Structures are given as C-alpha cells and as structure tokens.
Amino acid sequence: MALMSDTLHAEGLTLRYGERTIVEDLDVSIPEGRITAVLGANACGKSTLLRGLAGLLPPSAGCVRLGDVDIRALAPKTLARRLGFLPQAVTAPVGVSVAELVARGRYPHQRLLQQWSPEDADAVNAALRATGVTALRDRRLDELSGGQRQRAWIAMLLAQQTPVMLLDEPTTYLDVAHQLEVLELCRRLNRDEGRTVVLVLHDLDQACRYADHLVVMRQGRILAEGAPAGVMTRELVADAFGLRALIHEHPVTGTPMIVPLESLASVDESRGDRPGGAPAGEEVRA
C-alpha cells in the first residue's frame, strides 16, 4: 500500500445520467492525507462527482485516476481495498445488527474460500472502537438513533481499511452535536491514521473548520478550490450559493465563519443558479 500513491484525480471528467449532463469537463485533485470538503448549492453535482470519483458512475468523457491508474482498470475488489465510499441516505435490511453491518466492510478482503480471518475480526473490532459503537455491536441497526446508525455505517467503511474514504453528506439528518461527533471522527481518522477523507457537506462553517481543502462547485463545474481561509470569500458565497453573507473569523478556531444575510435569488430573480439553504437530499439521482 505504501508504494502506491493514493492521490485521487479527475481529468476532464464528464458525468451523465442518461441525457442529462451533471458534471462537465471537470479537473480536480484530492490532496493525499488531507480532509477535503466538497461544497455547493443543491443539485450542483456534488453527489454525482463523489459517485464518479468512487467509480460508481462510468464517465462519459475523461477519467478518474487513483495514483497513476485509471480506476476502471482496477478490479472492483482491488479498488474497494483502496477507496471506500459511503453514499447519502443508506438503508440496511431490517434486522441487521451493527456488527453484521460492519463485517460487510470486509468483503473486498475476503475470498470465496477465505471468508473470515483474524485480520477481519481485528478490523471490525477496531472500526467499532474508533466509532464508539462497540457496546452496540449486537443491537439491531433499525433500533438505533440516527447518530448511532450513522456511526455504524462509518464503521463499516472503516473496516474496509481503505486509504481513501469518500462520504456523501455524512452529517445530514443529524443534530448539531452528532454532526460535530462525526466530523471529529473524520478528523481523528485523518490525523491518527493518515487517511484521505472527502466529505460532501452543507454547513460552510463546519467545512471551513474541519477541512484542509475546499472544493466549491456550481452547475457541475468547480468554482474555487484551496484552503478555507483563501477560498471562503463573500464573492464566492454569492456566486456558489446565491447568498449575501458576511465572513467572520471563528472566535475559537480562527477559521472563516459565514453569517448569512439574505438570499440573492429574492433580490434578483433573473439569476440562473439556485440558491442554497433548501433542505438536503435534492441532489439529482438516477
């Protein structure tokens, strides 16, 4: 693993659902060993980009590379040992326990006649521990709170032991304390284990606070990318979200903090893009 570079790039990436082009001719590079947050208004193509980076949506043009290799050239299980993806709004079959879910993350490491190894057990236990759900291991997933369930899903992704982890809106549907808990977990995984983490987030303050690198999208293209302090400006918030806002400094962390003033869509109806702030879960999906 150490020999291979795990930098994830997209080159000229175009992603379509049927005839609809969602992401067009996009170049992006995900810095290795960092936390990257993907931001943008609803339906700007964030989730689609993440699915494309995870290899779940074949590009209509361009390619996604992990290190130097086009991910389409990798066998699915090989890719699944290097790159993990947690989709938005996942559901498990009724009755599955936390440990059973987390053990599913070991599938790429198992073979038909090599179905369970001590490493599998270690990885599952470590993942349960890291996400703080060890005590819940035999509880049914459908009996847990939203926050606990989300941590169990992240544990599944952890058990997969991939150097790169992509998470689509891992904090949506969680209350603010559980949101911070998930983000702290991502930070720990990044700091302690050197994992590359990519998050789609809606909360700009949280993104600035937890991410090392921001990728801001609008209408399937990248509007800006870079460190939060440099990227997060009033102009960018206006462009990306149609929002007039003030940018302050976070009193504790010193990262940019956004004070929303008004939606520009109500000021200027002729703008083409949609304002942010609507409920999540409206991303275009197949």
Q: How far apart are CA 208 and CA 63, in angstroms?
A: 28
List residues bridging with 111 in a β-sheet.
114
Q: Answer yes or no whether residue 17 interacts with other proteins by CB under 8 A.
A: yes
Nearer to other proteins, 93 or 279 (CB): 93
Q: Answer yes or no whether residue 99 interacts with other proteins by CB under 8 A.
A: yes
CB of 102 to other proteins, least distance (A): 8
Nearer to other proteins, 120 or 205 (CB): 120
Q: Answer yes or no whether residue 146 interacts with other proteins by CB under 8 A.
A: no
Nearer to other proteins, 107 or 173 (CB): 107
Q: Answer yes or no whether residue 236 interacts with other proteins by CB under 8 A.
A: no
Q: Answer yes or no whether residue 64 interacts with other proteins by CB under 8 A.
A: no
- For other proteins, which stretch binds (CB under 8 A), given 31-39, 71-79, 203-211, 218-226? 71-79
CB of 169 to other proteins, least distance (A): 13
Q: Answer yes or no whether residue 272 interacts with other proteins by CB under 8 A.
A: no
Residue 9's Cβ-side half-sphere holds a number of Cα atoms within 13 Å equal to: 12
Nearer to other proteins, 118 or 251 (CB): 118
User: With the C-alpha atoms ordered 84, 130, 140, 174, is the resulting torsion angle positive or negative?
Assistant: negative
Question: Long-range contacts: 189-192, Cβ < 8 Å, 24+?
Answer: 189/130, 189/158, 189/165, 190/33, 190/34, 190/35
Tokens 């930070």: give the residue. Answer: 187
Q: First vs last Cα of the chain: how many Å apart? A: 34
Contact 201, 38 (CB under 8 A): yes
CB of 205 to other proteins, least distance (A): 28
Q: How far apart are CA 28 and CA 216, in angstroms?
A: 11
Tokens 């962390």: give the residue. Answer: 253
Binding site for other proteins (CB under 8 A): 17-18, 51, 54-56, 75-81, 83-87, 90-97, 99-105, 107-108, 112-118, 120-121, 124-125, 129, 134-135, 137-138, 160, 286
